[in-house]
Chains A and B, each alone.
Chain A
């Protein structure tokens, strides 16, 4: 089975709210994690990444949190906008290997104006 999975398949929020998308992973050898955004008709787009020696990383309106103890990471989007509506994937990369991300199933984020 897949080693990366998501807790919620669909998340609906109101414009301006903060969104939190969760992801669980099972491979303790993973040391690099990436969040991707995939809009309809497009390929996945890199949002933010985090290495296992960190527990938090911030970008523009996005924050990724990593909890290695429970093998969980989350993506927080501040002041969610309609343009944030997309499917979000977390992906993991195993230490020592080439950069080949293993994707989970994805969470569909729907932002209501």
Chain B
């Protein structure tokens, strides 16, 4: 049984561009959360998706948006990239909103 998978592994973008990151949750999980982890920091919550809707959101601007598909996979979109968006983006899935979260390996985004 595959755990949480994310793609791509690494990504380099230029300021002002847009990026889409993808996540497939662990089998049996229907809730997906996204986190941003800057170097040397703990993960910061971006938002959580459940039943294809954004259910909770952290303190991130509207440039950060997402989507969840009927198969529970999810995307994170970031528009108008800034240098400060460079970070490791983590996806976590859980069997329900109150369950233990399982993290994927992350996507390393570098904005130049």
Residues of A bordering B, CB below 8 Å: 2, 4, 41-46, 49, 89, 91, 97-106
Contact = CB atoms under 8 A, between A and B. Distances in A.
Contacts, number: 53
Given A98-B56, A100-B33, A42 B105 contact: yes
A22 to B, nearest CB: 15
Identify whether the interface residues of A are mostly helix, strand, loop, or mixed. loop
Identify whether the interface residues of B are mostly helix, strand, loop, or mixed. loop
Contacts of B106: 42-43
Contacts of B90: 43-44
Interface in B23-50: 33, 40-45, 48
B65 interface: no
B43 A44 contact: yes
Given A43-B92, A91-B42, A100 B48 contact: yes
